[in-house]
């Protein structure tokens, strides 16, 4: 069943639907890897605001440890909460949403559903950073789609037929 965006965004609905279809058939560890890549990608698009992003890096590391069974879901959740706390303290909307993207990425270790929310926050961040430029938004969705396909191919995972 297709997911519905939980946040208000300007988007390419066809590309989102294509990603969502693959997402539904992808395991949680692969989705975690993808979400972290999405978050890292969007963080490169935001202006430097002299914010200590070490909390995000720690969260990514905890999620990576979870992927191989060396961190608990509780640790992943706590790391995600710390990242969202950092986002709430941020004044600039672009940076706030980029940090929320990272928090959602880390949270995939807790619930796979955070992966699509992460991808949507990345789109919201691009929309804010580039004045809702549909070409930039579409380019980000294409990047997300291709990145997800590459991760699945590297993991040797075969998406199941519908």
| 111-145 pLDDT per residue, tens | 999 999 999 999 999 999 999 999 999 999 999 99
Q: For residue 162, is it within any domain?
A: no
Q: Encode pLDDT of 39-57 as tens digits.
A: 999 999 887 778 889 999 9
| Domain span at 57 | 13-155
Within a domain: 151 = yes
Residue 1 lies in a domain: no
Q: How deeply is 19 buried, as exposed, middle or buried, from its count of CB atoms within 10 A (0-12, 13-18, 19+)?
A: buried
Average model confidence (pLDDT) across the chain = 94
pTM beyond cutoff 0.85: yes
In the prediction, which pLDDT does 99 show?
A: 97
* Spatial separation of the C-alpha atoms in residues 149 and 22, rounded to whole Å: 8
Q: What per-residue confidence (pLDDT) applies to 158?
A: 52
For residue 6, is it within any domain? Answer: no
> What mean pLDDT do residues 11-24 have?
97
Centre a 10 Å sphere on the Cβ of residue 94 and count the other Cβ atoms it contains. 20
- Report whether 104 contacts 21 (CB < 8 A): no
Integer Cα distance of 154 and 37 in angstroms: 14
Residue 102: closest CA among 76, 80, 120, 70: 80
């Amino acid at each position: 069943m297709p997911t519905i965006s939980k946040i208000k965004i300007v988007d390419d609905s066809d590309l989102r639907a294509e990603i969502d279809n693959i997402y539904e058939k992808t395991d949680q560890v692969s989705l975690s890897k993808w979400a972290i890549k999405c978050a890292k990608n969007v963080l490169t698009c935001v202006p430097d605001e002299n914010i200590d992003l070490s909390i995000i890096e720690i969260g990514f590391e905890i999620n990576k440890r979870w992927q191989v069974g060396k961190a608990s879901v509780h640790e992943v959740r706590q790391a995600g909460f710390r990242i969202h706390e950092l986002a709430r303290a941020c004044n600039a909307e672009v940076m706030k949403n980029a940090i929320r993207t990272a928090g959602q990425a880390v949270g995939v270790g807790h619930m796979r559903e955070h992966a699509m929310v992460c991808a949507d926050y990345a789109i919201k961040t691009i929309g804010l950073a580039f004045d809702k430029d549909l070409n930039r938004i579409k380019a980000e969705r294409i990047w997300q789609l291709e990145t997800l396909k590459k991760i699945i191919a590297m993991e040797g995972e075969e998406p199941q037929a519908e």
